Amino acid sequence: MSRRGLFFSFEGIDGSGKSTQARLLAEALKPFWTHVTLTREPGGSPGAEEIRRLLVEGAPNRWSPTTELLLFNAARRDHVERVIRPKIADGHIVITDRFADSTRVYQGASHPEMRRLADELHAEVIGIEPDRTFIIDMDPARALARGLARRSGEDRFEEMGEAFQAKLRDGFRDLAQEYPTRCVVIDGDRPEDVIAGEVLAQVRALI
């Protein structure tokens, strides 16, 4: 018999340790839950990964703010349709490295007038929120040093610099206040295993 799964997201500025924590949570859950799906945005399904390349490569001003918002939502719609909803319905715990809060904060920080449209699009074409969102909070200078050290070639957003990252950090903190029951702020400037232990304790309380 299948039961509904659960949906968790990790959010935060670039280099804060989201991917690390998403992976550690997926590993830590295996003894407790048979099916765990680890995924990411932008991307997470074949179509959305194609759209990802349009979003993360190239010049920072490659797209207009509205076009960029539509591309993030097109990618997310495919990810939700093809992966997130079917897996949750099949009893999986789905863990995503970024979701809609990244759009609210990144696209909202660059262009505040985009926030209203982001919320409207989310309601119309996405329509799902995580059961819990872990916001990994981190000093931008330290996070940026971690992120740029990777030199992945996907630096379209990271190249926007430290002042922008500081604005994003404030954006994520504001979002946590806006959605106090869904979002939890986690101090990311600690050893990986300490952060992972705190996240796992919160997740275990929900399963």
Q: Could you tell me how many helices (H) and strands (E) the chain has, helices first?
A: 10, 5
Distance CA 119, CA 23 (A): 28
Closer by beta carbon to ligand ADP, 21 or else 73: 21
Q: Should residue 11 be labelled a site residue for ligand TYD when binding is judged by CB under 6 A? A: no
Give the helix/strand (H/E) hosting 38: strand 36-40
Minimum distance of ligand ADP from residue 165's CB (angstroms)? 11
Q: Should residue 45 be labelled a site residue for ligand TYD when binding is judged by CB under 6 A? A: no
Q: Should residue 56 be labelled a site residue for ligand TYD when binding is judged by CB under 6 A? A: yes
Q: Should residue 17 be labelled a site residue for ligand ADP when binding is judged by CB under 6 A? A: yes
Candidates 9-17, 29-37, 62-70, 177-185; binding stretch for ligand ADP (CB under 6 A)? 9-17
Candidates 78-86, 95-103, 125-133, 177-185; binding stretch for ligand TYD (CB under 6 A)? 95-103
The binder of 103, among ligand TYD, ligand ADP, none, by C-beta within 5 to 8 A per type, is ligand TYD
Distance CA 13, CA 144 (A): 8
CA distances from 32 to 8, 20, 25, 73, 203 (A): 15, 20, 11, 33, 11
Whether the upstream peptide bond of residue 42 has omega within 30° of 0, thus cis, is yes
